[in-house]
Amino acid sequence: MHSMPCPDRNPATDPSPHPEHAPIGSNLTHPTWCHPRHCTAERGGPHRGPSVLIDPDSIGSAQLQLQLWSPADDPDGPVVLLELAAADRDSGRRVRVDLSMRQLDQLIGLLTTVTNQAGES
C-alpha cells in the first residue's frame, strides 16, 4: 500500500463549483483528513485526502486506488465518501465507485469476518 498523486477528475461526476454569490475559498474549513496537495475545494471542487494505492499480489490481480473526498459546497453538512477505483477485469476500463461511511463500515465488518474465518481454516 502506498500513496499516489491525485488523478484528474471528471467534471461530470465531481461536485459542482461553489455558488456564484460566494467567492471560492471564502470561509472554507477543511476536514482534518483533507490534504492540501490533493484538495480542490479552493478552486470550487471537492475536499480530497491523499490517494492510497493497493497493489496486486500473487493471488489477487486487482490494483485498488482509495481516496476520501467530500463536496466542499454541501449545504446539508459534511458528507464523506470513499472513492474506490480499479480496472474492470474483463474490459480493463477504469471503474470508480463512491462508498458512504455506512457502506464502508459494513464492508469492514464483512472483510473482518471473512479474514477471521479464513484464519480459522
Cell of 31: 476536514
Yes or no: say if 64 and 95 are a contact pair by the CB < 8 Å rule: no
pLDDT digits (tens, 9 = 90+) for 11-69: 444 443 333 334 444 567 888 899 989 999 988 899 999 999 999 999 888 899 999 99
Cell of 7: 488523478
Rounded Cα distance, 109 and 102, in Å: 11
Question: Domain containing 78: what range?
Answer: 2-120
pLDDT at 3: 38
Three-class DSSP category at 41: helix
pTM for the full predicted model: 0.65
Q: Look at 22 and 87; give whichever has higher pLDDT.
A: 87
Spell out the SS3 assignment of 25-39: CCCCCCCCCCCCCCC
| Percent of the chain residues past pLDDT 70, beyond the cut | 73
Mean pLDDT across 90-103: 92
Contacts of 44 (CB under 8 A, 6+ apart): 16, 17, 18, 24, 72, 73
- Overall domain count for the chain: 1
Q: Please check whether residue 94 is in contact with residue 87, taking contact to mean a CB–CB distance below 8 angstroms.
A: yes
